Amino acid sequence: MIQVASPAAVRSIMRRHNISCRKSLGQNFLVDLNIIKKILDSAALTSDDLVLEIGPGLGALTAQAAQNAGRVLAVEVDHGLLPVLAETLEGAGNVEVIEGDALKTDFDRLAAEKSGGLFGSGGRKYKLIANLPYYITSPLLMHLLTNRFNFSTAIVMVQLEVAERLAAGPGTKQYGALSVAVQYFTESKILFKVPRTVFFPAPEVDSAVVRLSPRNLPAVFVRDEKAFFKLVRAAFGQRRKTLLNALDGSGLGPDKANWLKILQRCGIDGSRRGETLTLAEFALLTGAYLDFCAG
Ligand code: SAM
């Protein structure tokens, strides 16, 4: 394996392979071994673990993960990085790089396929690690959560501002549909902040490492998750409007008078803003909305 965690090593690899960092793919590579070790310590890897990595890049996290985990599967979308990874991970017999788009990857199926059914759907839980490409952070988290993939923990690096959104509570500027989804499906924790200086090239923002631990049962009970998330999106869709007006403008069915009745039934004041609702209130609203739809 080749040590890639320094700006000089990244520059030299890129020169040799005649490639450059693709900003459009969120390629900001980690060049600080201490941070890499800190991220992996948070995953508490053992030789029993199967690790799925999203976006291995040049293999900085991958190579270190391979030293502690039983096996590492790394999904990379950039075809041009495959020869680089073959070189930097040479000799790491427990690593497999898979060319693919993480947004379209069924991680359970991949884990099951590559482990002969030991991990993944119906099998043991695997661990996810990623220094996430920032341009797809929200859709990727939604992909991981709403598909209820069978991972025990995800250690992900995201922009600090996104990390704060994941943990944000009702009534704050950062609280949004992503906060609700993350809190509904997981217990999340910001583990530590990461300065922009540990990346090459350095991004314009600082980052944070977050741990997501899927809950056995969602944080609140809802009869119909699709309806729940539709209402969440509607409530946050037009943040300057009152909840009543946001729901009325959502195209979800009921007219304004009926939205008022629905809100009254669950004791929620329609003059509030959507972003002040707790998860429990969104669940109540979902119940009343479904009752209305059922006639
Ligand atoms: N893990 C490496 C590190 O920490 O140095 C690279 C992290 S870099 C922020 C993000 C990586 O994700 C890049 O290698 C990029 O090519 C890859 N990537 C971007 N979009 C992707 C996608 N849709 N699916 C899989 N990988 C993706």
Structure confidence by residue, pLDDT tens digits, 8-64: 999 999 999 999 999 999 999 999 999 999 999 999 999 999 999 999 999 999 999
- Identity (one letter) of the amino acid at 54? I
Structure confidence by residue, pLDDT tens digits, 70-101: 999 999 999 999 999 999 999 999 999 999 99
CA distance 113 to 105: 12
Three-point CA angle 148, 149, 154, nearest 5°: 105
Is 30 touching ligand 1 by the criterion CB < 6 Å?
yes
This prediction's pTM? 0.94
How remote is the CA of residue 12 from the centroid of ligand 1, in Å? 19
Tokens of 36: 């890499």
Average pLDDT rounded to a whole number, residues 245-249: 94
CA nearest 235: which of 188, 167, 293, 283?
A: 283
Confidence of residue 225 (pLDDT cuts 50, 70, 90): very high
CA nearest 32: which of 171, 179, 197?
A: 197
52 with 128: CB under 8 angstroms?
A: yes
Ligand 1 atom with minimal separation from the 53 CA: 1
Is 156 touching ligand 1 by the criterion CB < 6 Å?
no
Nearest alpha carbon, ligand 1 atom 20: 25
- Identity (one letter) of the amino acid at 82? L
Average pLDDT rounded to a whole number, residues 175-183: 96
DSSP state string for the chain: -----SHHHHHHHHHHHT----GGGT--EE--HHHHHHHHHHHT--TT-EEEEE--TTTHHHHHHHHHSSEEEEEE--GGGHHHHHHHTTT-TTEEEEES-GGG--HHHHHHHHHTTSBSTTSB-EEEEEE--GGGHHHHHHHHHHTT--EEEEEEEEEHHHHHHHH--TTSTT--HHHHHHHHHEEEEEEEEE-GGGEES--SS-EEEEEEEE-SS-SS--S-HHHHHHHHHHHHHTTTS-HHHHHHTTTSS--HHHHHHHHHHTT--TTS-GGG--HHHHHHHHHHHHHHHT-
Percentage, residues of the chain above pLDDT 70:
99
Is 56 touching ligand 1 by the criterion CB < 6 Å?
yes
- Predicted local confidence at residue 54, as pLDDT: 98
